[in-house]
Amino acid sequence: MTLKEKKLAGMIAKLAAEYLGRESNRTSLITVIRTEILNRGKKAIVLFTVLPDSEEKAALAFARRKRFDFRKFITKKKILGFTPQIDFQIDIGEKNRQRIEKLLQESQ
């Protein structure tokens, strides 16, 4: 990932956290972990986790429903010259890391 893509990913992640925090119904805690940039900045995938786990499907459906509104939100902020296509996904890697950490703590 280039420096420009890293900066873009950081800005989108920050804006996604702000937007989801403001727009969510507060039945779950949505935490943006990171953003992946694809196709030279034409597409961005925002990866997040949800607590409690039972609300993951609802939170993912909510985020995906709001992706076009989120893109408008980014455009209105006028931080980026070009707004990439946005998608949201649950960060499975982070969930696995947390599970491994918990298992390691239990084994000690």
Which position has the token pair 């491994």? Answer: 100
Residue type (1 letter), 89: Q
If one counts the domains in the chain, the total is 1
pLDDT above 80 (res 45): yes
Which residue range is the domain that position 10 belongs to?
A: 3-107
pLDDT above 90 (res 108): no
Output the pTM of the full model. Answer: 0.87
Residue type (1 letter), 42: K
Q: What is the DSSP letter of 91?
A: -
Report pLDDT digits (tens) over 53-99: 899 999 999 999 999 999 999 999 877 778 899 999 999 887 788 88
- The CATH number of residue 74's host domain is 3.30.300.20
Mean pLDDT score across all residues of the chain: 91
Which position has the token pair 């890293």? Answer: 6
